[in-house]
Amino acid sequence: MSLMFSAILRALPLRCQLCHHRLDQHQYPWCKSCHANLPRPPRCLHCGLPTPYEMESCGRCLTSPPLWNRLSCVSSYTFPYDKLLHRFKYQGHYWLAPSLAKLLATEIDQPAPVLLPVPMHWQRHWRRGFNHSNVLARHLARQLQVQYEPNVLKRDRATRQQQGLNRQSRLSNLNNAFSIKGVMPEHVALVDDIVTTGTTLNQLCRLLRGHGVKHIDVYCVCRTPPPAD
């Protein structure tokens, strides 16, 4: 966030993005009342998908567990989070990152000592202008007071968008797409804005496990059920 924008933001009266009531600067993007009334379904603490009640591992995880150990998220990709993330990711509203990071930080009890943003290929980074996962991870690291490493994971190959691909296509689409640099601690967390199928994260987890990482968390703003194959 630029110094000029920070000055403008401090000067303007902030308003809740839902009820439009005036806010103090520590409440953005919505007021405490609206935040308290947003739906928060219970979830499986392993995969992060909604469950009838909070549990360590759901039936899906018992039969086909993801390669990470624990997922922390704010909500599903529904209103109002979908609108907020769309502006952040596709409309260049990178100044929303501190607020998104603050929302996510409240869901993390024992943070990993190192945060790794999901990498973006340089071609997509050039077209979009910034890596949203990178920006989110940087602000989340500040909130959690942990280390942030943006250059450890690299996307070596430009891949098709995962959305719309079936399971087999998603897997083959990511073959040899990532590399890793440096020595890893035993506990890290991968940071992304939205997790749907988890295919990308599982590929990164395989890479990290091969480099000695024993415990992998996933931190995301939204976790939403994958489409049926």
For residue 133, being part of any structural domain is answered with yes
Q: Are residues 95 and 49 in the same domain?
A: yes
For residue 228, being part of any structural domain is answered with no
Contact between 117 and 101 (Cβ < 8 Å):
no
Residue 149 has pLDDT above 60, yes or no: yes
Q: Are residues 181 and 99 in the same domain?
A: yes
Confidence of residue 127 (pLDDT cuts 50, 70, 90): low
Q: Are residues 31 and 136 in the same domain?
A: no
Q: Which residues contact 229 (CB under 8 A, 6 or more apart)?
A: 166, 167
Query: Can you give the pLDDT at residue 170?
Result: 52
Q: Are residues 129 and 155 in the same domain?
A: yes
Residue 154: phi and psi, rounded to 5, are -135, 140
**Where residue 199 sits, what CATH number does that domain have?**
3.40.50
For residue 108, being part of any structural domain is answered with yes
Residue-range definition of the domain harbouring residue 87: 44-223
Q: Are residues 1 and 53 in the same domain?
A: no
Residue 36: phi and psi, rounded to 5, are -65, -25
Q: Are residues 90 and 174 in the same domain?
A: yes
Q: Are residues 164 and 181 in the same domain?
A: yes
User: To the nearest whole number, what is the mean pLDDT of the chain?
Assistant: 84
Q: Are residues 86 and 26 in the same domain?
A: no
Q: Are residues 123 and 15 in the same domain?
A: no
Q: Are residues 10 and 111 in the same domain?
A: no
- Spatial strand order of the sheet with 187-195 comes to 70-75, 215-223, 187-195, 114-117, 147-148
Q: Provide the percentage of residues in the chain whose pLDDT is more than 90.
A: 49
Q: Are residues 28 and 124 in the same domain?
A: no
Residue 115 has pLDDT above 60, yes or no: yes
Residue 20 region by backbone torsions, left for phi larger than 0, else alpha for psi between -120 and 50, else beta: left
Number of domains in the chain: 2
Distances (CA, A) of 152 to 95, 123, 128, 132, 187: 24, 18, 21, 16, 14
Token pair for 3: 């110094």
Q: Are residues 173 and 190 in the same domain?
A: yes
In 68-166, which ranges are E strands?
70-75, 114-117, 147-148, 153-155
Tell me the pLDDT tens digit for each residue of 200-226. Answer: 999 999 999 999 999 999 999 999 887
For residue 141, being part of any structural domain is answered with yes
For residue 229, being part of any structural domain is answered with no
CA distance 209 to 186: 9
Tell me the pLDDT tens digit for each residue of 11-65. Answer: 566 788 788 888 876 667 888 888 888 888 899 999 999 999 999 999 999 999 9
| pTM listed for this prediction | 0.84
Residue 145 has pLDDT above 60, yes or no: yes
